[in-house]
Structure formats: structure tokens, C-alpha cells
């Protein structure tokens, strides 16, 4: 089993990268399942029904999200209609949508996906550690491979989650900070881990937005309008390989420029 996870898709720049890269990676790298975080796909803030459909058409099987999931109000109804679009599992009971799912790969293998959100420097939600572990245990009764997107700010919280789920989840990867970390590894219990997969989008700004206004905000403390950056497009992601028992055997970081993607095509 080979799973491609695409880091936070940011605005049209990120969507265009996905359209070119995902089909090529599936064909050239033997990918069985594609998962992506899509919460920033609509101009950097949220995701719409049309954009979700556009991204699913590229071959993405499941999209995860995080703290920006509700930025577009139409998601309050659409997320109940679209089982492939997840919100963090540890939102309180009664929140629209779902935080986990099981999909079937073309090979017939079943894969569970769990979306969790951290609480350090984030919105205070229910405990992702206990709830996440219980949900993974439930899913593993039906699918040996379970992939976790942990959308969190603090590296310490992400690392703690990796160790907490080592030997239970197939992979625990971090999203949200938009900066790819260099610590991809398979933990001793057989869980692939990376603190942050990074961002698929423009890299000539500050985590996806134009750098000038952000620098001014730091200099003056005054509010500024965030505009999406456009240069230095790059796709960030990981490829996780796993055996039939759902134990990870390898994790590879991806950082692909448009030229790299053209070479794949």
C-alpha cells in the first residue's frame, strides 16, 4: 500500500499544482490512495463545494481540513452531503460533517482516515489524544491501514501525538503551519511520522500570503489585508508505504517545483 498525502492546498496556485502533479504521481509512483488537506483551497481561507469537486476530480480520495474548515458558510451543509470531506474528529458532538472515514482502494484494500486538530494555540476542542486513539482502534477493526492528519500549531503537541499513536496508526502527519519539517521517519512501532508536511502553493510570501503586508503588520501592529501570494509554486507532501498489516515501512518527503512535475508528466 502506497499513500500520497498532499500538504495544505493553498488557493489557485496550490490547486493548479495538484491538477498537474497528482495524476502524474499516481501513475509514476504506484500510488494506491491520495489524501490531501484542502482547508485553504479557496483563496487561502476555506473550501467551497465547487473547489472540492474540482480537487476530487484530480484523483484525491479524501480531503481533510482544520481550523479554516468553516470559513465558507456553504460548508455547513455541503460537508454533510460529501463523505469524502472531513472536519476534525474532536469537534463537539452535533457539529456538521464527520471526522473519519474508510475508503476502498482500487486494489480492494480498505484504508481508514482520521482528521484531528490540536488544542495548543488553537481553538479549544475536545481531547484529540483520547478521542483519536479510540477512533483509530474502532477503524482498525475494519481497515488495517489508518492514516491520521493532525492539524496543529505546536510541534511539541504533534510529536507527542506521533508517539502516542505509534504502533496503532499507520501514519501520523502534521498540517497547519505550512512549513515542511525535515523529520520524516518511521517510529519504532511502525508508524510513519512527519511534524508538518508543508504547503502546496506559493512560497514567495509568508505561509501563502503576500509578504509585504505581513511584514508591515509585524512592524506596526496594525491590521492588514491578507492577499494570496503567487510566486515560487511548490507541492509539498509525503508518500507512505505500508505492509498488509498496516505497519509503515517507509515515508518519503516531497517538495516538487513545476519543473519537477513536468518531468513526472
Q: What are phi and psi of 32, to 5 degrees?
A: -95, -35
Q: What is the DSSP letter of 1?
A: -
Is 68 one of the catalytic residues? yes
Residue bearing cell 519504532: 188
Cα–Cα distance measured from residue 125 to residue 210, given in angstroms and rounded to the nearest whole number: 30
Instruction: Assess contact for 120 and 98: CB atoms under 8 A.
Output: no
- Give the side-chain half-sphere CA count within 13 A for 19: 12
Instruction: Assess contact for 69 and 183: CB atoms under 8 A.
Output: no
Instruction: Assess contact for 202 and 230: CB atoms under 8 A.
Output: yes
Q: Pick the catalytic residue from 68, 178, 203, 236.
A: 68
Catalytic residues: 68
Amino acid at each position: 500500500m502506497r499513500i500520497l498525502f498532499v500538504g495544505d492546498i493553498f488557493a489557485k496556485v496550490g490547486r493548479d499544482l495538484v491538477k498537474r502533479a497528482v495524476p502524474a504521481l499516481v501513475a509514476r509512483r504506484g500510488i494506491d490512495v491520495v489524501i490531501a488537506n484542502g482547508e485553504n483551497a479557496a483563496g487561502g481561507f476555506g473550501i467551497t463545494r465547487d473547489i472540492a469537486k474540482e480537487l476530487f476530480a484530480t484523483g484525491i480520495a479524501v480531503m481533510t481540513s482544520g481550523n479554516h474548515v468553516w470559513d465558507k458558510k456553504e460548508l455547513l451543509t455541503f460537508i454533510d452531503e460529501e463523505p469524502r470531506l472531513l472536519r476534525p474528529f474532536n469537534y463537539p458532538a452535533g457539529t456538521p460533517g464527520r471526522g473519519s472515514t474508510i475508503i476502498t482502494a482500487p486494489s480492494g484494500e480498505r484504508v481508514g482516515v482520521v482528521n484531528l486538530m490540536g488544542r495548543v494555540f488553537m481553538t479549544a476542542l475536545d481531547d484529540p489524544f483520547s478521542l483519536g486513539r479510540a477512533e483509530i482502534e474502532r477503524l482498525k477493526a475494519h481497515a488495517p491501514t489508518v492514516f491520521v492528519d493532525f492539524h496543529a500549531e505546536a510541534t511539541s503537541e504533534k510529536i507527542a501525538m506521533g508517539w502516542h499513536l505509534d504502533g496503532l496508526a499507520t501514519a501520523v502527519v502534521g498540517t497547519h503551519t505550512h512549513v515542511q519539517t525535515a523529520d520524516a521517519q518511521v517510529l519504532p512501532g511502525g508508524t510513519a511520522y512527519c511534524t508538518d508536511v508543508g504547503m502546496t502553493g506559493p512560497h514567495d510570501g509568508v505561509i501563502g500570503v503576500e509578504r509585504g503586508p505581513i511584514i508591515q503588520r509585524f512592524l506596526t501592529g496594525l491590521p492588514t489585508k491578507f492577499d494570496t501570494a503567487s510566486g515560487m509554486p511548490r507541492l509539498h507532501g509525503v508518500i507512505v508505504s505500508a505492509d498488509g498489516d498496516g505497519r509503515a515501512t517507509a515515508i518519503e518527503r516531497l517538495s516538487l517545483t513545476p519543473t519537477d512535475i513536468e518531468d513526472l508528466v
